[in-house]
A and B are shown apart, each in its own frame.
Chain A
Amino acid sequence: MKLLRLSCAIFAMSLKADLAHRSNILFQVLLSLAAAGSSLITVQIIFSRTDHLGGWTLHEAVILFGTFTILGGILLTFVEPNVLWFHQRVIAGQLDEVLVKPAPSLFLLSLGRHAPLGLVQAVIGAVIVAWGISLSGDAFPVWRGLVWLTLLAVAAVITWVTRVLVALISLWVPGLALDVVYDGAWQFGRYPVTMYRQPARFVLTWVLPVAFITTVPARALTRGVSPQLLGASLAFGFVAIMILRLVWMSGLRRYTSATS
């Protein structure tokens, strides 16, 4: 509860700072709209040449792309401002400030700064999902929507864990910044994981779990998921958090501050 209050306070302060530069809001809206619009045109062109992509129809692919866009917005808003060029903070010994504050260091390190304008992208993603649902022409049961929201929350957790894990590598290899590689790998989530051949599909399911991040939630909304897959996703999310905590505690032992 304390962390939630802290998180709300950080978000409110960041929002106030962002609202001071209103032209940036307009710019972010235009940029996100144009990027999402051209990506949707790409999806339409692909489906003008085929009926299925990895077993997914047009409206399913649109819902998947919408889910991907929502998670991209969440990543941009809550995680990226904290971990972008993280290795420079390690090299400069600037982690001291999160270690001495009276709140969990992992929370402050990975969620202590927000960029609220990124939520524009998440809103656009939600609109795309709604459009995908309307394209299908079918009535979607409410329970599917609830399962989708649950899996979306799990996907947000997995996204946070994987992004922070990639950043934490610099605690062992300070010169290695994998931000660009993560950004590139993230792009694979905009299409269903069933589209990729092996061994890429295995990597995108278990190493960088794009399957759990976008494919599984979108599948839950379009066709529903089995209780087993829902349980496996929840367990995956829980295990991911545990792994992150272990890696952070282990990495912290290697950190030498700039001042002591």
Chain B
Amino acid sequence: MTRSLRLIGIYAHRTFLEWMTWRGFLVTLVLGQCVTPVLGFAVWSAALPDASNLSTYYISLLVVQLMTVFQLDHTLANPIYRGTLSHQLVRPHSPILGTLGTCFAERLWFVIIGAPVVGLLVFLSNVPLVVANVLLALPALALAMVVRFLFTLALALTAFWTQQAHGIVAFGATLTFLIGGSAVPILYFPDPLRSVAESSPFSAMLGLPAAIASGSLNRDQVVMGYAWQAVWLAVFLIVTVVVWRSGVRRFTAVGG
């Protein structure tokens, strides 16, 4: 365990330094991720000008988006297509450790670049943040990171079977945007759809932490939200392990 953690740390450090060359591109990536919450906020503040908590919700959602989005279709699917995953497979540890290290480096860069953007928005909009709600949302944010990582990983691993992994990951991101609470806050879904959206993995990955941080949920809804996050974490963990094991058996690469 300690060895694995040390390896993840080494990979994260190495990737962080490598990506320093691409810091301009990373800024555009962060700005790109800011668009969907801003768009959702623009739509709903125009549709419901008197709605309370909307700015708090969407600023929280921006934080969740920046903390949970992963570019695994590039960092993992591309090595599968190029055949360079073989380099990682022959190392005396799981290739997933390298992927995890890359994801931690990515998070660090997103925090460094995204923090001033979020700070500026909080300052300009003067949103009423309740510390207790923010603290209550932190475990949900951590769970959302893990669930979305596993979800994106499972989609990116379809690269073992199809050339369309980038499209599949993009489609997953579109569904997360539409059903996860960005295009429409879950609370605004009409009743039959609302319970479906609340129990969906997309809410667990995006909307739930933002709804808790903005104080939009009562105690029972928070408990139920955490329960669904635990369920989806278990489901995606199993799915990812199964997909990874069967995918690696299919993988072939030429050269050395």
Contacts and interface: CB of A to CB of B under 8 A. Distances in A.
**B is a partner of A:** yes
B174 A35 contact: yes
Interface string B167-182: 1000100110011000
A53 B48 CA distance: 9
B251 interface: no
B183 interface: yes
Contacts of B29: 180
Interface in B1-57: 24-25, 28-29, 31-36, 39, 42-44, 46-48
Interface residues of A, number: 36
Contact of A45 (B31, B32, B167, B190): B190
A38 interface: yes
A85 B189 CA distance: 38
> Interface extent on B, as a size class?
20 to 34
Contacts, number: 84
B32 A184 contact: yes
B43 A46 contact: yes
A175 interface: yes
Interface in A49-80: 49-50, 53-54
Nearest to A37: B178
Contact of B175 (A27, A38, A50, A191): A38
A13 interface: no
A48 B190 contact: yes
Interface in A181-220: 181, 183-185, 187-188, 191, 195-197, 200
Interface SS majority for chain B: helix
B167 A180 contact: no
Contacts of A181: 28, 31-32
B48 A49 contact: yes
Contacts of A175: 24-25
B35 A31 contact: no
B32 A180 contact: yes
A49 B188 contact: yes
B246 interface: no
Contacts of A176: 24-25, 28
B184 interface: yes
Interface in A9-47: 21, 23-24, 27-28, 31, 34-35, 38-39, 41-42, 45-46
14 contacts: A38-B175, A42-B183, A45-B189, A45-B193, A46-B43, A46-B44, A46-B47, A48-B190, A50-B47, A53-B47, A180-B29, A180-B32, A195-B42, A196-B42
Interface of B: 24-25, 28-29, 31-36, 39, 42-44, 46-48, 162-164, 167, 171, 174-175, 178-179, 183-184, 188-190, 193
Interface of A: 21, 23-24, 27-28, 31, 34-35, 38-39, 41-42, 45-46, 48-50, 53-54, 175-181, 183-185, 187-188, 191, 195-197, 200
